[in-house]
Amino acid sequence: MILRILIAQINLRVGDVAANRDRVIAVVQEARDQRGADLVVFPELTLTGYPPEDLLLRPELLERVQAALEAIRAASRGIGLVLGYPKRDLGSLFNVAGFIHDGRLVAEYAKQRLPNYSVFDEKRYFQAGQAPAVVDFKGLPLGLLICEDVWEEGPTTQATEAGARLLINLNASPYHTGKAPEREDLLVRRAREHQVPILYANLVGGQDELVFDGGSFVVDAAGHLTQRAPFFSEALMLVEVEAEAKAGAMGERDGVAGAQVGGDGVGEAGRLSLRPRPAAIAPHPAEESAVYQALVLGVRDYAGKNGFHGAVLGLSGGIDSALTLAIAVDALGADQVEAVLMPSRYTAAMSIDDAQAQARALGVAHRVVPIEPAFQAFLGMLEGEFAGCAPDVTEENIQARCRGIILMAISNKKGKILLTTGNKSEVAVGYATLYGDMAGGFAPIKDVPKTLVYRLAAYRNTLGPAAIIPQRVIERPPSAELRENQTDQDSLPDYAVLDPILKRYVEQDESVAHIVAAGFPEELVRRVTRLVDRNEYKRRQAPPGVRITTRAFGRDRRYPITSGF
């Protein structure tokens, strides 16, 4: 026999149970009526979206989930489905995968391994399950697992020892560079260890700082990849699984005969061979392509899911704002993006020329609003306070804050989200102005090191018939242009040196001694790490941004502001 399973790699909205319910029902109907599927598999916590965070503490959320489940059960006639949701049982909350068939809730599996590291806080909300769930579906024993369960040995072993001959793994696995191959390598090992095929269904879409990259896939019992869905886009991937009896006859059964170990058909597990048929394998994108797609998806979903009608940003003629503008246009459309050029007395003519050239190339509405009148007004207001003091970084910051006021005013007046343009290297060492260039609602490249910013800009220029980021923007030395002849390297080491130090200290938790032993000058390392430590207070006040590394500032790397470490 052939079991036809549709993996629903879909984009959900956290907390919007009604919309998520309707999406599930629409996919189920398409799977049954148009695709001829026997079973549909949805991502982890389908009905609430992931991660629902403290929404899980609200009883009303669970009431909505139960009502949604009743509607989904009613819509499931003639088909099976597996979907995720939270469930309270005997006073404890569980992260559950429910198996529904022909209007009946046949089985529920509670996630056993609750991640509590990096961006995950599941032990704050959930209790761990203890038992496997193996469902006899049309005579075929299917084991249910949820995300982290496959990263540790126990739950996989439990399911296969309970008779599962195919494992279905529901996921909400967020993206960072290198994550997709890591997932696949792990499941290849698990499939080989237990000699069972595994279906991996992943979420796709942006949720605050997190981006879920999809890339759902299937491996056979020998660990061979047989099918993969695209990355960073929704997909309904139909998987055909051939079931054969290894020895002796096995009568085919209609419906679900047993949900737990010992149900009819499960005892036949050792005599079954389930083989996913080879099908289309979407390619892994190269690193620059993957990061860029993650940034675009993150901006699109953050703006769209929060009801913003377009975006505005300051376009300086520098590399960071140039890349941010390209991301915004690719995410929202040129007609939904507005660029504002705010030259100061120190702005080079080439900066204005390059910014306008990019805006024209992308078809973006743009205007020039000089900040000199506002800057002069502030200097006049503060003349008495500044008497006898030499100009310093204070005057530079006033210029940045003039720009922040202008951009926030446009954002407020037009209902457009203000995108900030700072990169991870600057955010790490505090090379940014509170209430100035840090002002805004979302920071697309907040987790992108400066050296990667250059690579992404060059990559974006390869996507169309013509470059949209002027080559001079990529090649000229970076500068905030807040004083005469200023460059970033007046205040910071070269980014080619700075970024590796930051990666070791911020993402890999290496000590000063270890970084120095790797060949970096001790005085420089101590200076950089001091800057990182003492600018935590700034980062606490920064807008959220897309996470693309293994350790992002925000919900991922959480350090005390006041610390004697």
Indicate which residues carry an active-site annotation. 44, 111, 147
Long-range contacts of 377-384 (CB under 8 A, 24+ apart): 378/402
Would you call the peptide bond into 276 cis, given omega within 30 degrees of 0 as the criterion? no
Q: How many CB atoms lie within 10 A of CB 1?
A: 13
470-498 burial, b at 16+ Cβ within 10 Å, e below that, comes to beebbebebbbbbbeebebeeebbebeeb
Q: Do the beta carbons of residue 487 and residue 417 sit within 8 Å?
A: no
Element (H, E) at 455: helix 450-460
Cα separation, 240 vs 5, in Å, equals 6
Q: Do the beta carbons of residue 240 and residue 1 sit within 8 Å?
A: no
Q: How many CB atoms lie within 10 A of CB 48?
A: 27
Residues shown for the chain: 565
Let me know if 445 is exposed, middle or buried by CB neighbors in 10 A (0-12, 13-18, 19+).
Answer: buried
The residues near 159 (Cβ < 8 Å, ≥ 6 apart) are 132, 133, 134, 143, 144, 145, 167
Cα separation, 245 vs 46, in Å, equals 34
Cα separation, 118 vs 114, in Å, equals 12
Cα separation, 325 vs 328, in Å, equals 5
Cα separation, 239 vs 280, in Å, equals 10
